[in-house]
Amino acid sequence: MAASASGEATRIMLAVNESTIKGYPHASISCRGAFEWILKKIIRSNTCDFKLLFIHVQVPDEDGFDDMDSKFASPDDFKKMKHRDKIRGLHLLEYFVNQCHEIGVACEAWVKKGDAKEIICLEAKRVQPDFLVLGSRGLGPFQKVFVGTVSEFCVKHADCPVISIKRNADQIPQDPVDD
Amino acid sequence: MAASASGEATRIMLAVNESTIKGYPHASISCRGAFEWILKKIIRSNTCDFKLLFIHVQVPDEDGFDDMDSKFASPDDFKKMKHRDKIRGLHLLEYFVNQCHEIGVACEAWVKKGDAKEIICLEAKRVQPDFLVLGSRGLGPFQKVFVGTVSEFCVKHADCPVISIKRNADQIPQDPVDD
């Protein structure tokens, strides 16, 4: 047995999501933290031996909560809304792909729609990464009851090894439920 | 942000235990699998940037189950038993330290006594590794009820990120509870 000198890249899947903080650009604090953790602690200077797989799951806005301030006067308005959601998802992935490109780490990124925790597990099964990394808000037990965590579900149900990276204490916003 | 070119080594803590299969030499299937996973998927050729921290927790043999066939005629016999346990723990660590030495990965190894899951979490808190790796038997829900898993406890309670590596399907012994 020896540490491999070459061979296929280690494929790390990272689930990314948008920040819940209004006006905050793009990626959530947790998923940016998880991304930086991978670079700093795993990939380090060995950029050629890894490939990052970014998945973003868009939750269909069934209750229209995100569009409380929007006005809908025609079917086109709904199309616009869906188009806008798509654009936002792409901007999110663009952020991570740009970062990888700058650093010189191979990557792929894609968007899916549905229930985040279930889609992440399905995609992990389909894509078979070496492991899955999830950013986590690191909420206390009281907050978890109301918010639930995608990472807990994936740790239990994903086919591949899963590592959950909690937000740093200095990155917690005023309301810890925000991200 | 950039992948770090140098800086402090990434410190990976790995909990190791003995095989439960009689006559089987040293390390359990799961923990050897987890060790090989770290080498192959994380460290790869980048041996200088990582340090492995091996912890082995010896469970005090309170019910004397392991010594059913031993005869105790004097206080010295008990001392011998304790001495023998210590030797076995050291042999286990020697296996991993030798492997690291051959590959050229820095490491440290130590033994503690007590309840494995609690001691591992306490040691993770004390030593503050970047993350903790645990081999897991990957038992089904029915078997878990009786056996319990150290890794599930540590995923929930350890201060640092935890990744649990399941045994490969081709490494499962006749009785999946064995390891």
The pLDDT > 90 percentage for chain A reads 53
pLDDT exceeds cutoff 50 at B152: yes
pTM: 0.85
Mention every residue, 6+ apart, whose C-beta is less than 8 A from residue A33: A135, A165, A166, A167, A168, A171
Judged by CB atoms closer than 8 Å, whether chains meet at A4 and B45 is answered as yes
- Inter-chain contact A3–B43, Cβ cutoff 8 Å? yes
The nearest CA of chain B is from the CA of A81 a distance in Å of: 33
For A24-56, how does the pLDDT look when each residue is reduced to its tens digit (9 = 90+)?
A: 557 999 999 999 999 999 999 999 999 999 999
Tokens linked to B81 = 């038993």
A71-A77-A79-A84 Cα dihedral, nearest 10 degrees: -50
Sign of the four-CA dihedral B123, B124, B125, B127: positive
Nearest-CA neighbor of A14 among A30, A25, A2, A26?
Answer: A30
Supply the pLDDT for residue A64: 56
Q: How near does any CA of chain B get to the CA of A93, in Å? A: 17
Residues A107 and A52 sit within 8 Å (Cβ to Cβ): yes
> CB under 8 Å to B28, separation ≥6 — which residues?
B16, B17, B18, B19, B20, B135, B179
- Provide the ipTM: 0.84
